[in-house]
Structure 1
Amino acid sequence: MMSRGATVFLLTLIWWLLPREGTAQLIELDDLPDVPDAATVAPSEPGVAPTVQQHGNRGVAGSDAGPTTQPIMLPLRPTRPQISTDRVSYRIQGQFETAEFALILPSVPGGATLAMASQSSIDVLPERSEIGVSVNGTFIGTLVPDNFDAARTDRLQVPDGVLRTGRNLVTLEVRHVHRVFCGPDAAFSVWTDILLSGSGVEVMPNELGTDPLGFLSAVAAELGRGRAVTIRTSGREFPIADAAPVIARVGDIFDGLPPDIDFAQYYTAVDGPAQLARVTVLPSGRTDPDLPQFRRGGDGAIVLLANAGRYADTGALLLGALPRGADKAETPRLEPGAPQSLEELGAPQIEGRGRYINKAVSFRLPRNWLLLASQRAELLLDYWFDSDLPEGSLLLVKVNGTTVRLLPLDEAASADRALDTLRIPFPANTLRPGVNQLSFEALVPGDPPDEACVPRSSPIFRVDGTTQLHVPPSPAMSMPDIHRVFENIRPEGIGMSDAAQGTLSLGILPQLAAIYATGDSGDRDETANHARLTVGVPSDLTSMTGDVVGGNNSRLREVLLTRVSEKTEAVDPWERVNEGRWWRVFHDLDRARELPARLREWFVAIWQGPESSLETWLQGQAAEAMLIQPDTNAPQDVWLIVRPNVDPRPVVAALALLHGQYGGPNGQVSLFSSDAGWTSWHSSSRPLRLHEPLTLANARAVVGNYVTITPGRYVLPLLSLALFSSVIAMGIMLLSRRRRE
């Protein structure tokens, strides 16, 4: 007779072996095109007749029924990425904000409803808050942000004729009011999260045909679930460097953050719901003249079959079905030497609403514009502000993040009337070649601060398009910088080191390439065709050479391999040049003991310029990723070093967010962390390059740039020359006096 213990063990074993509800493990088998008759059942997918449609011809939707019978959500996809590992929600934070989403549809559904799944901060006052929804420029309704404890779905009817086949644009105009407080701080406590996987338009699986648009719609649905797009290969070494540029250009049509991409072998066990779409690449050396084509996989997924090495054909097929959205307007170019209005820079009028406001205007200076000395630029500001604003209301005018003027908004005598043009001079060296940013930041206290804000019908301030910006001209000069490389880089110039290919996901390569598949043409320089970005891991730093990494290889690796619990501020010697009064040395013993070290630091700072050494700057730093220009004499080469076992998606999102914008990585070394973003260091030994002949007209600006970047090399010789001249003058004076005597 079986013992009680054996019985318990047997029951446990039976329970363990019983099939469980929920996720199932699927072995997904793709039908390779080795069967000439498309109607023949694929051996790897019994019972399913694959429907083949070649080169973009639409299939018969009714014949494409797969295993899935539940409706599929074609989700909203943000057009502007966020730095986050969360791929299934998008946060809209602030009092007055606008967010745009792309929606890809394989056909125009009749009687469609737009689902919006959202959850808001408990601080939002729903009675005074609202979310206006528009589709392709047509207003379709308003939502109340009152889902506090969990995400819930609201549905809006979309009028016939509003949606269209292909790409659609959904715009959310959000107004948040804090239920308890009113003021600048309250703006950071009110938000609404849009759950992407539950927001969009539902379609039945048979509406996704085996054609390019059906495939792209299924890919968008897969991405909305927070899953990556899978590319199946034979398992042999995949030529990712060859395929990445085409994958990148296809990924770029989805707007916003480049899609996550996974590489897998043909026969792969997958946990969870079946895939909706994937790509299968034939083994190298085996081609089919009928490819690329689309088939229905055994799990119901739309499978794009492609020949290895012929990625351009696949890219052309998909791009022809869904071209990129309307090309993003290139950043307006400001021509130095003459005033230019904000209206000419694409900002006919700027209005600020809310208690914390930050409105920016981007503009582009020539790549070889460079002024580092004391030249002045000027802003001629035409602005207006509302009456009855609380005491302490301020408007900060900033250039590239530096405040150049602080304007009070609480002066009753100047409120709500036309003001004279205000001249605001500022240092030209706050500007840089490439993209710059003029911003207007307003801080308006609550009145009272401990109650919900009273609605205002008029804006807090307005900046007119007649406002002019004047930037002085400069000689054509340049310095090595990471951001110059990113303005030139193209997908073909992005690769991975051998060590990175064995450590990181190969999907990061086409993701990065998608960021730079398109962009401002600007005025690309002569190194544009040679710009290279290499993805690496910390071990690659060991073999790097150059004036930037020389002697700092191990310290750079430590930044990526160690975690700093408490960040210490690195002391920059340049900041100490004018610190304190020199006579304190005679009555402060501590300062007297520090005098030799301070003198040494003073001379080092005078000699090297305003930048600290890399070793000093790296003290206390920790990073998830690093951009580095190893050698300023080979400025076209930049490396992206990613810390092992770190999710690279925030790094990719940060690069995508700031591509073509001010505030991205620059200098020679730039460290990334999810909390702080990019922090950059500039080498004091960057070589200056003059791209035009030296003349009397440009000599002063050229010399000013050289003296500013390396003051010691020019100031000390000049001081020596002045001292030598003084000695000679004194000698001549003494000799002449003796002769008179």
Structure 2
Amino acid sequence: MMRRLLMCALGMLAATGAVGQVPFDMSPELNLRVVPEAPTIAEEQPVAPAAPAPAAVTRLERHILPQTGIRFEGEIGTRAFDFYLTAGQAAASANLDMSVLNAIVVAPEYSELAVSINGTEVGAMPIEYANGPSSVVLEVPEGLLAAGRNRIEIAIDQRHRTDCSVSSTYELWTEVYSANTVLDLAGENLGHIEDLADLPAIGLNADGATELRLFIPQIETSEARTAALRLAQYLALALRTPAVEITLVEGLTDVFDFSGLTVVMGTAGALPPELAQLAGQAQGGPIAGMADPAALPNTLLVSGPDWAAVETAARSLMPDTAGAEADLGGLRSDLPDLVPVISGRTSIALSELGVDTLAFNGRRYHTALRFALPADFYADMYSEAELVLDAAYSPAVQPGSQLEIYVNGQIASVIPILRTEGGTFRNSRLRIPMTNFRPGINEMYIETILLTQEDTVCPPGLSGRAAARFLFSADSRIAFPDFGRMAQYPDLSALAGTGMPYTGGGDVPVLVADGSSSMQAAMMLMSRLALSSGRVIEARAVASDELDAGANAIIVGPMAGLDRELLARGRIVDLDSSGSLPVIGSGEDALQRWQESAGVPSGNVIERVQGWVADQLDLAPENFWLFRREDGAYLPQSADAAVISQVHQSEGGVWTLLTIPNGDAFVEATARLVSPTHWQQVAGRVSAVGVADESVLVLQPRNVTLVPTQPLSFSNLRLVAANWMSTNVLGYALLLAAAVVLLTIATSLLLRAGRRDK
């Protein structure tokens, strides 16, 4: 009876407050408690005055494209993405509004743009938008959208107005802009998220990222910082977004005008007045759920009586697919197809990777696929994958035609087409060197250049009505061999792709310099690592005197906010006010690196010869060194460039340092570094990008340390040795020479022994 009276009193109190009773969505696996057995009524806590409810919103525009848009180049192309909806959004009437612009040389009578949602075509129209970005409105059939995961696919087939040459296909492009490409839904307050399962339905902004606004009242404490670094990763995975934009705020303001997700995290005693009604619940156990949308729309509360409970509540946000070992597909909305993790010898049909069979009548066919490699992939200098190709081409195809394979934007293999009477590729094995493969997600691009006599003549109308001349079968397969497994440090590509060496190894000390900008940059870095690897780093905020050089660590802060010893260990130096190099690490080496990156030639003749030979053999000069020199300090080229550096400490730990000379630009530069376009370029021992840079500056290490990750076996040692000797050419030559000398000596001794026996 007393319990019923108590619940009634709580209900009456909630009716007068700014926040109604919150329908929390708890994780049953964690047995999170919502109400303690003896709840405390928060009568004495200040309650924010009720604000007048805004007028009901009758339409919702949902951005669905990643980044700022998608660009199709060439004659054909297909791009697919996932987007998520609540049940209410899926049931609403909807239109797809698109903003499209194409090159003026695209012939609309032979070119088409087609859009399908969940496998059903919703529109196909001529590509005729050369006069400027044009609006295209497509009606979405009722019942086509589904609650939860949906898929949109945009395909183009375009031809040149007047030119039939292969070179003319590089003039063809069509761009779909994210800012004005939205799913337009009709209904009241459809943007409200009331269930944790619907968090991905928060959606994207015009830049193709999900906006997060975090209010953490106790952010200056180490416990709150630890929880915040982990929360950023949980949320990134739960939202299934290509990218997140994180902002730290100091209060709950303008909640009705914010289109992203607002998150409040703290212990029960530190909750803001707007959530004071829930302090009693938070005192009883961990809670995680959406606040009353009428008062605090799209506001997520993560709380508990202490920080251990807050961490439990935050962890409940992580989706079941996090940490997947075999497939990274669906990890983000820009990865709608299977992305298998390759750990050794295997063969996969391209149809499983989202590639379709296609008969093509153009000049330049291309398709793309993705796969992932483990963090300890060590076969980039010797091993080869294979494309087991099933395809056919017509007798019209002439010699000079060829098939090209690109991996991560770099040319990997070129195969000429020599026969002139037509032919087929049936189980034809095309070798693909693994030089440009990297840990984490890789993208392979297959392109076929087709030359014909009729294209040379180019009669009127041929561009769009030529007969099919090439058939690519999705039964083609990509085959991987067994490859060496060995971690190497420093290796920022492994960090960027898999979170190595910080995932799966327990707590990771993270030093974050003072200031909200450093914390914001650290959370953006953590979220990007989670989105790249599908795993969570168990970050633990520490002070500088708690760092152990024998253990792995991450350090984030502007150069002015970090001790000079930390900068020295991170091998980063800066110019002082007089323009001279301070004595940190190796200043002479920093100057040499600056000369190399600036293109200043060395005066050493031997080094010039080494460089020339390396260029001819597509190797680095370091491959010809017998004893590799240690990496020196890096001198940042720009005060506004975010720099990420990784160093294997002599004591055994691997330290990764994210810093910038100008602290005022830290957040903006870090956001640019962790954007999908730039993050996939991160590699080597140092990567840097400024706020206006189009590409990432990468410095490769001179010397790396190999660290075993697999049980000792002869087969793996053999593969590792093969890659090491391919990397260290001079060492391999000396070993080979030594083997020849030993063989000669052994042969001589055997011959002498034979003569004595006679």
Shorter-chain TM-score range: 0.5 to 0.7
Structure 1 window deviating more from structure 2 (457-466 vs 551-560): it is: 551-560
Q: 1:198 to 1:403 in 2, by over 3 A?
A: closer
Match for 1:395 among 400, 403, 406?
A: 403
- Does the 8 Å contact 1:76/1:102 carry over to 2? no
> What TM-score, normalized to structure 1?
0.67
Where does 1:222-233 land on structure 2 (aligned, <5 Å)? 228-233=211-216
Shift of the alpha carbon at 1:506? Answer: 1.3
Matched, 1:537 2:524: no
Amino acid paired to 2:244: P
CA distance in 2, matches of 1:405, 1:705: 19
Aligned to 2:645: 628
Q: Is the 8 A contact 1:210 1:294 kept in 2?
A: no
Deviations 1:410-445 (A, max 9, x none): 7532x2x33465455566666666666654233357
- Relative to 1, partners in 2 of residues 1:290 and 1:558: Cα closer, same or farther, differing over 3 Å? farther
Q: Of 55, 63, 71, which aligns to 2:58?
A: 71
**Pair 1:53 & 2:22 matched:** yes
Give 3-state SS (helix, strand or coil) of 1:39's partner: helix
Contact 1:77 1:196 in 2 (8 A): no
Task: Report how far residue 118 of structure 1 moved.
Answer: 0.3
- Measured against aligned partners, the alpha-carbon deviations of 1:611-663 in whole angstroms (never above 9, x if no partner) come to 8985699898998333321226546432333564548578657656479x9x6
Contact 1:377-1:425 at 8 Å conserved across structures: yes
**Are the counterparts in 2 of residues 670 and 680 from structure 1 also a CA contact under 8 Å?**
yes
Post-superposition shift, 1:120? 0.5
Shift of 1:55: 0.9
In 2, Cα distance between the equivalents of 1:282 and 1:642?
Answer: 30
Contact 1:178 1:190 in 2 (8 A): no
Distance in 2 between residues matched to 1:478 and 1:207, nearest whole Å: 48
Task: Tell me: CA distance 1:213–1:90, structure 2 relative to 1, closer, same or farther (3 Å).
Answer: farther
CA distance in 1, matches of 2:419, 2:518: 58
Q: Does the C-alpha gap of structure 1 residues 160 and 624 become closer, same or farther in structure 2, counting only changes over 3 Å? A: same
What's 1:587 paired with?
none
Alignment partner for residue 406 of structure 1, among 404, 411, 414? 414
1:165 aligned onto 2:147: yes
The Cα shift of 1:67 comes to 1.5
Which residue, out of 437, 441, 446, partners 1:440? 446
Structure 1 position 639 matched with structure 2 position 620: no
Aligned to 1:359: 367
The 2-side partners of 1:383 and 1:107 are apart by 46
Shift of 1:264: 1.4
Structure 2 matches for 1:511-550, cutoff 5 A? 512-513=526-527, 515-516=529-530, 519=533, 532-539=553-560, 540=562, 542=564, 543-546=566-569
- For the structure 1 residues 273 and 358, does the alpha-carbon distance in structure 2 shift closer, same or farther, using more than 3 Å as the test? same
| Structure 1 residues 10-409: aligned runs within 5 Å | 37-42=13-18, 50-56=19-25, 66-78=53-65, 81-82=66-67, 86=68, 89-95=69-75, 96-108=77-89, 112-123=93-104, 124-149=106-131, 151-179=133-161, 181=163, 183-184=166-167, 186-187=169-170, 189-196=172-179, 199-209=182-192, 211-212=194-195, 216=199, 219-220=202-203, 228-234=211-217, 237=220, 239-266=224-251, 278-281=262-265, 285-286=269-270, 288-290=279-281, 292-296=289-293, 301-307=297-303, 309=307, 310-312=309-311, 315=314, 326=330, 331-332=339-340, 340=347, 342=349, 346=353, 351=358, 355-363=363-371, 370-371=378-379, 381-389=389-397, 392-398=400-406, 403=411, 405-409=413-417
Letter in 1 for 2:95: L
After TM superposition, give the deviation of residue 152 of structure 1 in Å.
4.6
Cα drift, residue 66 of structure 1: 3.5
Q: Aligned partners of 2:695 and 2:518: how far apart in 1?
A: 21
Name stretches of at least 5 consecutive residues in structure 2 with no aligned partner. Answer: 1-9, 27-49, 272-278, 283-288, 323-327, 537-550, 574-583, 614-619, 749-758
Contact 1:90-1:193 at 8 Å conserved across structures:
yes
SS at match of 2:249: strand
Letter of the 1:535 partner, please give it: V
| Distance in 2 (alpha carbons) for counterparts of 1:304 and 1:234 | 15
Residue in 1 aligned with 2:4? none
Find the residue that maps to 1:237 and give its secondary structure: coil
| 2-structure distance, mates of 1:579, 1:249 | 49
Q: In 2, distance between residues paired with 1:689 and 1:151?
A: 53
CA 1:148 to 1:289, structure 2 compared with 1: closer, same or farther past 3 Å?
farther
Give the counterpart letter for 1:165 in structure 2. A
Quote the offset at 1:40 in angstroms.
0.5
1:1-29, Cα deviation, whole Å (9 max, x unpaired)? xxxxxxxxxxxxxxxxxxxxxxxxxxxxx
Rounded to whole Å, the distance in 2 between the matches of 1:392 and 1:403 is 18
1-structure distance, mates of 2:373, 2:687: 22
Superposition deviation, residue 217 in structure 1: 7.9
Structure 2 distance, partners of 1:65, 1:357, is 58
Q: CA deviation at 1:112?
A: 1.0
5 Å matches for 1:489-504?
Answer: 489-490=502-503, 497-499=511-513, 501-504=515-518
- 8 Å CA contact 1:544, 1:553 repeated in 2: no
Distance of aligned partners of 1:667 and 1:56 in 2 relative to their CA distance in 1, 3 Å threshold: same
Q: What is residue 576 of structure 1 aligned with on the other side?
A: 609
CA-atom RMSD in angstroms? 5.6
Cα distance in 1 between the residues matched to 2:638 and 2:399: 40
2:481 is matched with which residue? 471
Is the 2:267–2:310 Cα contact (8 Å) retained in structure 1?
no
Q: What TM-score results when the alignment is normalised by the length of structure 2?
A: 0.66
In structure 1, stretches of 5+ residues that fail to align are 1-33, 43-49, 58-62, 523-529, 581-601, 731-741
* CA distance in structure 1 between the aligned counterparts of 2:478 and 2:495, rounded to whole angstroms: 30
Distance 2:601 2:586 in 1: 19
In structure 2, C-alpha distance between the alignment counterparts of 1:148 and 1:315, rounded to whole Å: 49
Contact kept? 1:179, 1:451, Cα under 8 Å: no
Q: How does 1:712-731 map to 2 (within 5 A)?
A: none
Mapping 1:406-425, distance limit 5 Å = 406-409=414-417, 411-413=419-421, 415=422, 417-419=423-425, 422=428, 424=430
- Three-state SS of the structure 2 residue aligned to 1:119 is strand
Q: Which amino acid aligns with 2:138?
A: L
Identical aligned residues as a percent:
16
Say if 1:714 and 1:394 are closer, same or farther in 2 by CA, change over 3 A. Answer: closer
**Residues 276 and 108 of structure 1: CA distance in aligned 2, closer, same or farther (over 3 Å):** closer
SS of 1:162's equivalent in the other structure is: coil
Classify 1:315/1:682 alpha carbon distance in 2 versus 1 (closer, same or farther; 3 Å). same
Provide closer, same or farther for how the CA distance between residues 150 and 311 of structure 1 changes in structure 2, counting only shifts above 3 A.
farther
The match for 1:666 among 675, 683, 687 is: 683
Q: Which secondary structure state, in structure 2, belongs to the residue aligned with residue 384 of structure 1?
A: strand
State which structure, 1 or 2, has the greater radius of gyration over its C-alpha atoms.
1
Tell me the distance in 2 between the aligned counterparts of 1:428 and 1:477: 15
Change (3 A) 1:119 1:335: closer
Q: Deviations over 1:201-250 (max 9, x none)?
A: 33444445572369848843767898843223448636243123234323
Q: Which residue of 2 aligns with 1:462?
A: 472
Q: Residue 111 and residue 105 in structure 1: after superposition, are their counterparts in 2 closer, same or farther (change >3 A)? A: closer
